[in-house]
Structure 1
């Protein structure tokens, strides 16, 4: 593999341009760190991955400041989805642990056929908010309305190391009222979409981290939910599987499902319809697309 030449001035130019365009320095630094983290994870020079620093800064800031300005992949949700059913709605949601406030006044509406991304710096509460969306954690304030059929994919965990993938399919299928044979065949089919053929004799603890995450994705989709909640579901994926994952997201969207994904991959925001920034410097949480 050829060595990646890192331009150490790229993040400085990127951050400086964000500040010049009016972003607060602390938030500009956070975005610069997140961008460089993604470049490091993909083993690609930032200039090659994102383009010139000043142009990427303008594109990103324009998207953050313009609720209707996120580039769309596929049909514009404002042209045809206005009448689609709301599958998730948050009104004034906040979370507080004793004396620490994690976030406040979060509003989000996601309709059938739409994808929403939750972004922000580490520790701002992205995973906590997703668990609130799933009904696994109670909000301190606000209300949550969701469809009944929900699939939740955690960032890690959620599986039993001594069971095989097929046994997971049977177990999770039983919880959703799916017959064992159908659950196993459905699980194998969904795994194939992620370029994975489970070994019927291999327990989960012998799987790689990326393959365990594929299993989590399959388990989240096994009962055909209307709403999918994904917490950085691509951890450990290679480039090919990562692209397969986003193709699957598009397939879910086209099938009329709603998807909410926690992500720090800023360059993938062109693939979503809403962006909820929990790290917004002004404390306001913006959702591009429709507002109710």
Structure 2
């Protein structure tokens, strides 16, 4: 089966600093790929390029189907509630208010967020784990075909962490293409393949 995500010869620099030099990856439907590398190797930059949020200096990215992206740092609006975020982000992927709230609340509850009690609280008052759960669920609205995750479990309690990996297995079973940037080497057995992003020389 042809890949749903392909990145070929990706190069990126910020000023004089080379972040990526000829990075390649491919993820097929029904496949979980772990992206590993040293801090500063360019994992986050490569994910942002694959998500279409950053333009590479060279190389090509091809995706098939809709892409969902969960950044490492939650991209949340501090004064808005979880409900507000579900409606706002759901609308961006074509969901009406009702379906966005239903879909998002179900996913948040499954991660132990307790949407009925916390859904109307401003994000700035949520715990770090609560913010990260919302961050993950927002990336899943609209049932994307390609799921890009940048260490999405930061701040999760043990139960939510275990649930997350169950979700990963379910996504694989449903034919999703999943790319996870991770530093948890003990969890690499959960992936079908591991791709290492090597550090780039300075200059």
Give the TM-score normalised by the residue count of structure 2.
Answer: 0.93
How far apart are 1:260 and its partner, in Å?
Answer: 0.7
Greater Cα shift, 126-135 or 147-156: 147-156
Separation in structure 2 between the aligned mates of residue 280 and residue 248 of structure 1, nearest angstrom? 30
Q: What runs of 5+ residues in structure 2 fail to find an aligned partner?
A: none
Greater Cα shift, 192-201 or 177-186: 192-201
How far apart are 1:280 and its partner, in Å?
Answer: 6.7
Separation in structure 1 between the aligned mates of residue 85 and residue 98 of structure 2, nearest angstrom? 12
Q: Which has the higher contact order (CA 8 A, sep 6+)?
A: 2
Matches within 5 A, 1:58-73: none
Alignment pair present for 1:254 and 2:176: no
Q: In the alignment, which residue of structure 1 is the partner of 2:149? A: 230
How far apart are 1:277 and its partner, in Å?
Answer: 0.8
Q: In the alignment, which residue of structure 1 is the partner of 2:23? A: 106
Q: Deviations over 1:214-237 (max 9, x none)?
A: 001110001110001111000001
Separation in structure 2 between the aligned mates of residue 200 and residue 145 of structure 1, nearest angstrom? 36
Q: In the alignment, which residue of structure 1 is the partner of 2:61? A: 144
Separation in structure 2 between the aligned mates of residue 241 and residue 150 of structure 1, nearest angstrom? 23
Matches within 5 A, 1:152-163: 152-163=69-80
Give the TM-score normalised by the residue count of structure 1.
Answer: 0.65
For these two proteins, the number of residue pairs brought into alignment is 199
Larger radius of gyration: 1
Higher strand residue share? 2
How far apart are 1:192 and its partner, in Å?
Answer: 2.0
Alignment pair present for 1:95 and 2:24: no
How far apart are 1:202 and its partner, in Å?
Answer: 1.1
Alignment pair present for 1:125 and 2:42: yes
- Match among 162, 173, 180 for residue 243 of structure 1: 162
Q: Deviations over 1:143-202 (max 9, x none)?
A: 110124010101113111111111111111111111101110111111122122122331
